[in-house]
Chains A and B, each alone.
Chain A
Amino acid sequence: MNPNLSRRHFIKAVIASSVAAASHTGIRSAGAQERHRGAVERLISLNINGRTRRVDVLPQETLAYTLRYKLGLTGTKIGCNRGECGACTVLIDDIPNYSCSTLTHSVRARGVLTIEGLQAADGTLHPVQQAFIDELAPQCGFCTPGQVMSAVALLKENPKPSREEVRQALSGNLCRCGAYDHYLNGVMRASGQS
């Protein structure tokens, strides 16, 4: 028996050819759609955390899905997947958005910042992250990435917010543990006010 035709090689080859076939149909159907003006291309470039990423994105795909399952950025959590909890909050051009309720195709040519993009190159945490640790802000931690992103956006816009302004800015992020006051303390600390 030809050692080059082992079972493993055979299976690999079959998988590779079907992938090629699949991607080929993908490209062809995207081409067919171009008949309509404004139809979207599937292969797009995204600017995520300052890096350009090429991704194959379905028309109906949400940003939370692309981040987590295509780009491996699982720091962004999907809680309700309905824009009602805030766990999936990311910044798009510095504005907090629910990534579960954003079509990935709508963020082409815009800058997306996720929780993974906050820490410095040397691993230093963002002041908001550090302050949340210092104030023991998270309890179970599931809503924390969203809370951090909302807080980062607020401090970019308003470096010395009042406690009430922080409360407003974080009001779109639910915390089932009820650690709201701890998060508020954290943001006040990160802004150098406590």
Chain B
Amino acid sequence: MPSYDVMPDVQLFQPAEVDDALNLVDQYGKDGWILGGGQDTYGWLKDRAKHPTALIDLNGIEALHGIRETVDGIEIGATTTLREIIASPLINRDFELLVRAASRVASPQIRNVGTLGGNVSQDARCWYYRRGLACYRAGGNICYADSPQGMNREHALFDASRCVAISPSDTATALVALEATMIARSVNGSRNIAAEDFFVGPATHITNMTSLESDEILTAVQIPSRWAGSRFYFEKVADRDVWDFALVSIAVVMKMDGDTIAKSRFVCGGVACTPYRLLDVEKAARGKTLSDESGDAIAALASQGAKPLNYNHFKIPLMENLVRRAMRG
């Protein structure tokens, strides 16, 4: 029977056990496509911009789903939906930052099926790349966005290397701020990857957004209790409140010592291909009180080293102002 749907012919596997999924991923390698909520997947397939031969749907695997308290924090299964994260009393109590980030993802219907594992594994946001053009990221030897006529309003300020696309994930910034650990499994065993090392830029890996190998599955995300109940700040600036990806977002965790900041992590989304840590801001924030004055004093450090393209200069004051807002009392 022919299909008149716009979905291409592809095999579908819905394994019930992690081991079955690992075998399938191992067997299909780069031709396999791991399916979470599928909200980033179907666009690629319908556009014929990617051509996997097999979809491996992880949603039937009980072990990859749910939120558990561990000895040192919490563990969130990779197929836990953003809806479940937003509703979780445990995450609301300890890591509200992640709830705020997850609440700003796309639209309600997408959050209802979108998974944490899928949200952090999204592919780069660049319309040239997503159009299916043979750019660097797609294995070609040109960047259409970083050309004299290129439309690059949404693109990167930092760490571009041939490709200037950005990371679209809202939860990724929160997870880097919270020093989460990603658990990856393959048929050969499992490994723990610090969130900061999980996301990779084009200088490291031009065709991948994460350090996952093609035979690996992201099975869970662990958040240590180190930052539980800290002072959190999350803000996402986008053209539209719903569906849209961040122009710039910021996720901040702060440990206070009385009125002053003892320790903090500032992470920006939408400015680089990975969540971008503002190390200079973190250093300068130490010992500061929360006030407009301290915000003014350190904000300019946020954008140091930025290399704007033709149309994205506006992201520089945007980043600085988000730091100012995070520093308000």
Contacts and interface: CB of A to CB of B under 8 A. Distances in A.
A69 B4 contact: yes
A158 to B, nearest CB: 12
A28 interface: no
Contacts of A62: 5, 7, 42
A60 B109 contact: no
Contact of B39 (A37, A81, A95, A101): A101
Given A60-B12, A101-B42, A38 B20 contact: yes
Contacts, number: 110
A118 interface: no
B1 A83 contact: no
Nearest to A89: B109
A59 B55 contact: yes
Contact of A96 (B15, B38, B39, B112): B112
B112 A97 contact: yes
A38 B21 contact: yes
Given A84-B243, A102-B38, A172-B108, A95 B7 contact: no
Contacts of B20: 37-38
Contacts of A16: none
Interface band, chain A: 35 or more
Contacts of B149: none
A171 B12 contact: no
Interface residues of B, number: 43
A58 B43 contact: no
A102 B15 contact: no
B8 interface: yes
B38 A101 contact: yes
Given A65-B5, A103-B38, A171-B242, A39 B108 contact: no
Contact of B14 (A58, A106, A150, A169): A106
Contact of B45 (A36, A60, A102, A106): A60
Contacts of A106: 14, 57, 59
Interface in A82-104: 82-84, 86, 89, 95-98, 100-103
A125 interface: no
5 contacts: A36-B24, A83-B39, A97-B112, A98-B39, A171-B242
The 3 closest A-B CB pairs, nearest first, are A172-B107, A38-B15, A59-B12
Given A37-B20, A169-B108, 12 more contacts: A22-B1, A38-B15, A38-B20, A38-B56, A40-B13, A59-B55, A82-B46, A100-B42, A101-B110, A103-B55, A171-B107, A172-B109
